Structure 1
Amino acid sequence: MNTKTSEYLPDIVELLLDAVCVVDVKGCLLFTNPAFETIFGYSPGEAINRQMLDFVYPEDRAKTIHAINQIMNNNQHPRFENRWVRKDGRIVHVLWSVYWSQEKQVRVAIAFDITEQKKLEQKLIYLAGHDPLTDLPNRSFLINQLEESLSIANTLSSVLGVLFIDIDGFKQVNDIHGHAAGDKLLKTIAMRIRHVLKKNDSVGRLGGDEFVVILNSIKNKQDILMLVDTLKKEIVKPLEFNDAELAYSPSMGAVMFPEYYGDAEYLIQCADKAMYRAKHSGGNQVVFYNDDIKLPSAQSIKP
């Protein structure tokens, strides 16, 4: 770099949209540019002579120290991500590019604010695992939840229950009142199921009018029966659409682990078969899975 170009460096650093800071060997901030204040909220007077780690989100301090040690001890020039706490308390996701000067015993770091990018990533991850109508976990996410619950139940030798819920009369609601009424019904039922469940339990929507409930907080069949009774009362509470009361009820199939031992797909299939038995026995009831239950014939029509 020639002398004339170096004269412009202070102005360039001042104009950068990314934060620039210089940190000494003890981790103390020696310099910050204007973008540092824009991103983190701290003026040079508030930041300089303070420990850099004071600004790092507590849960990210260990990995930040590890990254710094890699830079200083192995002469690496890595990029790494961490979170900082702004002056106003908000969390900032940061992508760092760091250079360690052995000669001057300082680190020069450039920070790029990736908070909006992280929010978008988290939103996309959430949307990929949730049903857009009811905001419940979708089939893929629910299967993962159930596999985790099964792993815990297997390790602790505890009991777990799976409920498969189908809504009697859902097709008629759609046919008579329109799909807007059906959507309202599904959203309302999703909310009512969540309202009844305990903190450790969860519910997801498989599609259509089918819901699956994972019961992590039960000990025996009686616990499921008590919950089912509460669920039925909550689900069938009156619901109106355009001044007309909708007619519907739940058919439920239940299966208990480890009475029936298998993976998430197997248990959901068992509960589904039991639900069909409940539906084809008149609906608005619960049936527990047993080995005598078979899938309905192809000629069976879902009411």
Structure 2
Amino acid sequence: MRVSECIHLPDILELMLDAVCVVDRAGNFVFVSAAFEDMFGYTPDEVIGKPMDIMLFSEDVEKTHEVVEHLLKGELKPRFENRWVHKSGRVVHVLWSARWSEKHQYRIAVAHDITERKQMEARLERMARHDPLTDLPNRSLFLDRLQNGLNRARREKTLLSLLFIDIDGFKEINDDYSHAMGDKLLQAIAGRLALSVRESDSVARQGGDEFLVLLNGISVTNDSDKVAEKIRKEIAAPYFLEGFEFNVTASIGIAHYPEHSNDVLALIQHADHAMYQSKHAGGNQISVFTL
């Protein structure tokens, strides 16, 4: 007996770990393999005859339709990624291999679940762009955001302010109460900073006990002065950690675009210089850079 006589195609499809889908020209499901339910939560009876669009992640509908248009013209799409919505509501990242059969007027596609890989990539990306202690953006990500902020400020003809913050008295606490306690204090300070600005702004850890704050879309420079004063007061409020009360303050320096510079690194240097003016004046102060 020949192998082809004892093996049936439907049986093979049911054994595949990847989901096999057959869709007609209108985009309606004609056939799905058993793995489809494992991947998306829907049984074949729940989807056969229904449009695939009902399962597409809303933000990926347009690009998926564009790929389908190319497939219907006979172009090959051996690798295409998009997102679908599982019956439970969670998002499934899918890697597709698809082909259009002009003879049968069907689109045949094989779906491979790459959700775990995508989640790992997202975690690695976040680790590379965020400070591991405070989970704030790190210097690299902040530089990108600052450059984007400058570009937007030029287009929209708005102001932008940069705050450079150094924590007064942190070194003594770090030395006297251990680095672990110092880390907890930095985390608490980072939390207060994040809550002191708008969602459109950005807070980053520069390193050690230094932080950067980007204030986008400032109408007048006095607005950034008010935010800086709010931050100064928030930082100065007592911290209660592990049964101890700690008190620190902040030396804050401010540089403005376009008044002081239109360059990313120059703005940071100017804000840093202004911060040292506050530090040398005794700390717990706000200084604006002067040319």
Q: TM-score, normalised by structure 1?
A: 0.91
Report the CA distance between 1:287 and its aligned residue.
Answer: 0.9
Q: What is residue 19 of structure 2 aligned with on the other side?
A: 19
Residue matched to 2:54: 54
Corresponding position of 1:145:
145
1:216-295 → structure 2 map (5 Å cutoff): 216-291=216-291
Q: Does the 8 A contact of 1:173 with 1:247 survive in 2? A: no
Query: Do the aligned partners of residues 5 and 257 (structure 1) sit closer, same or farther apart at CA in structure 2, a change above 3 Å counting?
Result: farther
Shift of 1:242: 4.4
| Distance 1:33-1:259 versus aligned 2 partners, 3 A rule | same
Change (3 A) 1:238 1:74: same
Gap change, CA 1:38 and 1:251, over 3 Å in 2: same
Q: Report the count of equivalent residues.
A: 290
**Aligned partners of 1:215 and 1:6: how far apart in 2?**
70
Matching residue's letter, 1:270? H
Cα distance in 2 for partners of 1:120, 1:243 equals 37
Other-structure match for 2:212: 212
1:155 maps to amino acid:
R
Q: 1:200 Cα shift?
A: 1.8
Q: Distance in 2 between matches of 1:85 and 1:75?
A: 26
Residues 1:164 and 1:5: Cα distance change in structure 2 (over 3 Å)? farther
Tell me how far 1:171 sits from its aligned partner: 1.0
Task: Tell me the residue number matched to 1:295.
Answer: none
How far apart are residue 262 of structure 1 and its match?
2.2
1:73 Cα deviation from its structure 2 partner: 0.6
Q: How far apart, in 2, do the equivalents of 1:204 and 1:248 lie?
A: 19
CA distance in 1, matches of 2:66, 2:96: 14
Give yes or no for contact 1:93–1:118 (8 Å, CA) kept in 2. Answer: yes
Structure 1 counterpart SS, 2:218: coil
Letter in structure 1 aligned against 2:193: I
| Distance in 2 (alpha carbons) for counterparts of 1:64 and 1:228 | 46
Question: Once the 2 structures are TM-superposed, how far is the Cα of residue 54 of structure 1 from its aligned partner?
Answer: 2.3
Segment drifting more, 232-241 vs 12-21: 232-241
Preserved CA contact (<8 Å) 2:153 2:217:
no
Shift of 1:247: 3.4
2:201 counterpart residue number: 201
Residue in structure 1 matched with residue 44 of structure 2 by the alignment: 44
Distance 2:220 2:267 in 1: 16
| Distance (whole Å) between structure 2 residues aligned to residue 188 and residue 33 of structure 1 | 52
CA deviation after TM superposition for structure 1 residue 23, in Å: 1.2
Q: Quote the Cα distance in structure 2 between the aligned partners of 1:77 and 1:227.
A: 52
* Closer, same or farther: CA 99–230 of 1 in aligned 2, 3 Å: same
Residues 1:79 and 2:76 are matched in the alignment: no
Identity %: 47
Q: Shift in Å at residue 239 of structure 1?
A: 1.4
Q: What amino acid maps onto 1:45 in structure 2?
A: D
**Structure 1 Cα separation of the partners of residues 214 and 6 of structure 2:** 65
Name the SS for the 1:78 alignment partner.
strand
Q: SS in structure 2 opposite 1:216?
A: strand
Residue 94 of structure 1: how far off its partner (Å): 0.5
**What residue ranges of structure 1 are gaps of 5+ in the alignment?**
292-303
Aligned residues of 2:237 and 2:247 also touching (Cα < 8 A): no
The answer to whether the 8 Å contact 1:159/1:257 transfers is yes
The aligned amino acid for 2:278 is: A
Q: In the alignment, is the contact (CA less than 8 A) between 1:19 and 1:32 conserved in 2?
A: yes
Task: Between 52-61 and 230-239, report the one with greater CA deviation.
Answer: 52-61
- Is residue 82–residue 95 contact of structure 1 (8 Å, CA) maintained in 2? yes
RMSD, aligned CA: 1.6
Instruction: Tell me if 1:118 matches 2:118.
Output: yes
Q: Please list, as runs of the form range in 1=range in 2, the aligned pairs for 1:62-141 lying within 5 A after superposition.
A: 62-141=62-141
Q: Which runs of 4+ in 1 moved over 6 A?
A: none
